[in-house]
Homo-oligomer: A and B are copies of this chain.
Amino acid sequence: MGDDQASARCRVVVVGGGFGGLETVRALADAPVDVTVIDRRNHHLFQPLLYQVATASLNPSEIAAPIRRILRQQANAEVFLGNVVGVDRASRKVLLLDGEVEYDYLVLAAGVTHSYFGHDEWARYAPGLKTITDALEMRRRIFIAFEAAEREGHPGRRDAWLTFVIVGAGPTGVEMAGALAEIARRTLRSDFRHIDPRSARIILVEGAPRVLPAMRERLSVKARAQLVKLGVQVRTDSQVTSIDETGVSIGEDHISARTVLWAAGVSASPLAGTLGVPLDRAGRVLVNPDLTLPGDDRIYVIGDLASITQKGKPVPGVAPAAMQQGKHAGLNIERANEGLKPEPFHYRDKGTMATIGRAAGVADIGGLRLSGALAWLCWLLVHIWFLIGFRNRFVVMLEWARSYLTYEKQARLITGEVENLLLEPEAAAPTRPDGGA
């Protein structure tokens, strides 16, 4: 794209600056191509730690960094802040809300958003966790709930403010539940005068028969035991049938709760639907073995947006898979640009892990199955290691150490102002907890 002159260099456009997209850009660093990354956010996000922003352990900037800064040194890469709405395959253009960008090769790495299984009306009551804005909204709801309980005089309504339901017991749900239990049992313990935060109920609801359904059964059992020990109520085999301002229904059973957090379904970026190719049930693109779009070898689809099966098992929607695919797409584009045939992608499973509160967790790495403190330590090291490139690894380590030693949460801020704390949902006449009003 060479700034002021027409250029014959191969133009690669990457949509999405997540784990997959950035790996593609890096893989092309020394190739004779010009790369344009387009994202509608200016930052790359270390998604596996987003729940720590939601639970006030970390600041947004500790797990996010400007894409522009990450790629500062890569001379053949430029970054555009923009919102991609479609692709014109005939004329090889990416269509933005406010412009268009031409490509020779296109890599789609737009990821997923949360999905409410056809119940979009639940979104209002049960926010999901994909962006920093989402995390700050969850944080706001969690801490507002304790504030409202402190002021609420009616026992039933107070209990509803002190009940937290997390829907979905995958890694995010399990990690959220553990962190919430820690907040209620330890962090806030001495901060209130009219409520005991330790009496808060944290309920983890999962439709499958066990928590962490993607992991081995033995680790699910251990994870559940660790959650219960932290005081989390675990309800497996429980399909949520309704969510509204009063709480969550599981069939006939209703849980009165003012705070519901969504950690269940995801579906692919709507961009997949604009391509005119077959999608899987979650809306992801069924890609060729070399990660190209069926019928168009100029377009690669990677990461959570791609559906691909290997040895009869789907490649999971996790960061390591996205990174491997990103790198592979970059190398395939370089091959294609040199007139060589692209090669099929092979996924190398590096294992999975989840953390459950302080010094507890489960990990499944190759043949190794860990649980408890060792799994937690393992999780910690891997996550700090991959924060490379965020430059604030040291600050994050420091915060974790402090948080671990003091149970303190540095980022307990509710941003924005509070209008009516107690008037919704029933417009009840609020009273002072001591009946003074």
Residues of A near any B CB (own CB < 8 A): 1-4, 40-43, 59-62, 64, 66, 68-69, 72, 78-83, 93, 97-102, 131-133, 136, 143-144, 147-148, 150-151, 190-194, 391-392, 395, 398-399, 408, 410-423, 430-434, 436-437
Contacts and interface: CB of A to CB of B under 8 A. Distances in A.
Max chain B Cβ within 10 angstroms of own Cβ: one of A80, A98, A420: A98
A69 B412 contact: yes
Closest 3 CB pairs of A and B: A81-B147, A61-B411, A99-B430
Nearest to A427: B98
A130 to B, nearest CB: 11
Contacts of A423: 97-98
Given A68-B192, A83-B419, A151 B99 contact: yes
Contact of A422 (B99, B192, B410): B99
Contacts of A78: 150, 193-194
A395 B399 contact: yes
Contact of A81 (B102, B418, B430): B418
Max chain B Cβ within 10 angstroms of own Cβ: one of A100, A132, A418, A437: A418
A225 to B, nearest CB: 32
A112 to B, nearest CB: 15
A437 B148 CA distance: 53
Contacts of A415: 60, 132-133, 136
Given A42-B412, A98-B430, A413-B66, A3 B193 contact: yes
Copies in the assembly, this chain: 2
Nearest to A64: B413
B191 A81 contact: no
A60 B414 CA distance: 10
A418 B83 contact: yes
A143 B79 CA distance: 13
Q: Is the interface of A mostly helix, strand, loop or mixed?
A: loop
Contacts of A100: 432, 437
Contacts of A132: 413, 415
B40 A2 contact: no
A76 B148 CA distance: 20
Contact of A61 (B131, B143, B410): B410
Given A81-B150, A83-B418, 8 more contacts: A1-B434, A1-B436, A41-B417, A69-B191, A72-B191, A101-B436, A131-B417, A133-B416
Contact of A98 (B190, B398, B422): B422
5 contacts: A61-B413, A82-B418, A99-B151, A133-B417, A395-B395
A81 to B, nearest CB: 4
A410 B437 contact: no
Contacts of A421: 81-83, 98
A433 to B, nearest CB: 7
Given A80-B150, A418-B40, A190 B410 contact: no
Nearest to A187: B69
A204 to B, nearest CB: 26
A69 B41 CA distance: 33
A83 B417 CA distance: 9
Nearest to A80: B151
Contact of A3 (B79, B143, B194, B417): B194
Contacts of A436: 1, 101-102
Nearest to A391: B408
Contacts of A131: 417
Nearest to A73: B190
A432 B66 contact: no
A392 B3 CA distance: 44
Nearest to A144: B81
A143 B65 CA distance: 13
A421 B98 CA distance: 7
Contacts of A420: 83, 97-98
Contact of A2 (B72, B419, B434): B434
